[in-house]
Amino acid sequence: MGVERSSSEVPLRRVWDSLQRVGFGLCIFDDALRLIAVNDPFCDLFGAAGERLQYGTSLSQFVRELIAQKVVRQDDEETWIAECTDALRSGTTLQLKLSDGRICKLVTTLGHESGLTLVAEDVTRTRYSEETLREAKEFAEKANIMKSRFLRAANHDLRQPLATMKILVYNCMSVEDPEARSQALRSMDLTVSVMEELLGALLNVGQLDAGAIVPRVASFPVATLFKRLGVQFIHQAEDKGLNLTIVPTSCHIATDQLLLERILANFLSNAIRYTDYGRILLGCRRIDNKLRIEVYDTGRGIAPEHHERIFDEFFRINTGGSHSERTALGLGLNVAKRLSQLLETPISLRSAPGRGSVFSITVPIGDIWRSEVGQNDITEALTGEFVGVEALIVEDDSVLRDALSTLLDRWGIIVHAAGNYDQALQMAAEKRPDLVISDFQLPGGSNGLDVCRSVQTALGEEIPCIIVTADTDERRLAEISAAGLPLLIKPIAPARLRVLMHHVLFEENDTSSDFQSEAG
């Protein structure tokens, strides 16, 4: 809209017509701060409040209409109206956030003798672009902080296996007994493996802030994890005169093994650092379908007011302890908390001054049939348990059949090897097997399920069976699962095979209900 003017002001009208076409809003007040001219862009910018502008409208009335027409929303309206009016009178530039989310910039130009001019412009896009640049700058600064934090965390965490390696090398140099030296070398090899995976874990931790890390959840035996932690920390505990006890367990859990190891490693490292004498215990207990893994220590304990802050980044309790305590970065428990949040596995703390501490984490029970086990993770407690067991192997691939037969023979098993369905039934009739291990795909149109059913029917009893296959089609796996038989995917991992054999031969019959609950 435009305010009417005298027809004799032709030159001024032409000027004003030109100002109507400019790309910004223009509004002119006289020396009494009464409106004498306004262009359409100005009215359009302020919507309902702009439509109410007319010749003689005061500056304060215009500001009040911004509130009355809900073009601008403020909690303390009267205070805002007074402050905004005073600011415009004094020539202050304002940025108004309108109710619809737009941002308007109001620039006041004071006349040489009297009056004022308001220039209004929608700067929403510019403002948001500035915010985007500011956020990008903050992100870059945060990235630099994360890089520094990562380097400090790497220095902190890598000291653990390096300290273990130093002790092992020293011990190995003075050991003369071949068996003891061999054991030390095996421990060194496992420690190097820990360091390699630790470097990978630290890289993952460095990505936590960016949200780029995705946990790899799988089922695995807790014993595997405990063994690795034992190798990593038992020498450090002994070097400080502490007794580190790891309680054996046969449970399986489902989570990211490497990330969980970092959490427990931080618990153990913290326990060793702040325990002057006594013992540290790593164990677990089952609670419904969860497993709570706990690290106990007889250390100094933590006062209740520090229980929450102990997980904050770089937080350390000043106890005036050893040099290693004073130089600790205070990242371990913070990393543990962040990883536990990522895994959705809650951690907790029970502690009191002078009474030690218990750090724990609760994880889901895993599935033994889908458990991932490395060949080096076979526990010594299983050695010799298969001696005298008779197993029927059904595999049409002669190379794989011979390799599997050799492996089982090394474990003390009496092997009967068949290449097809008919040979398997004939061998089972001649000598009752204690266990059947059958490939799923067999020649002649039969399969491993047919073999297992026929052998059990012929012998009139539930002979333990394991199915092996390279076929990962979901329908095929569902068919095997529906039959209730444990499954191994080729290539066969000896450790995984051994764990399954142990369960189907020695645990399933006696503790079937408990085991099924634990596995599922």
138-151 pLDDT tens trace: 776 766 666 666 55
Token pair recorded at residue 134: 């500011």
Residue 359 confidence (pLDDT): 94
pTM: 0.41
465-501 pLDDT tens trace: 999 988 877 788 888 888 888 888 877 777 778 878 8
pLDDT reading at 183 higher than 70: yes
Q: Please say whether the beta carbons of 496 and 373 come within 8 A.
A: yes
Return the exposure string of 484-513: e unless at least 16 CB atoms fall within 10 Å of the residue's CB, then b.
ebbbbeeebbbbbbbbbbbbbbeebeeeee
The whole-angstrom separation of Cα 95 and Cα 100 is: 14
pLDDT reading at 391 higher than 90: yes
Q: Please, which pLDDT band fits residue 376 given cuts at 50, 70 and 90?
A: very low
Domains of the chain: 10-122 (3.30.450.20), 136-366 (3.30.565.10), 375-519 (3.40.50.2300)
Alpha helix ranges (H) inside 411-493: 421-430, 448-459, 474-482
74-91 pLDDT tens trace: 888 899 999 998 988 888
The whole-angstrom separation of Cα 24 and Cα 294 is: 68
Residue 274 confidence (pLDDT): 87
Q: Please say whether the beta carbons of 250 and 283 come within 8 A.
A: no
Alpha helix ranges (H) inside 286-420: 323-326, 332-343, 398-410
The whole-angstrom separation of Cα 60 and Cα 63 is: 5
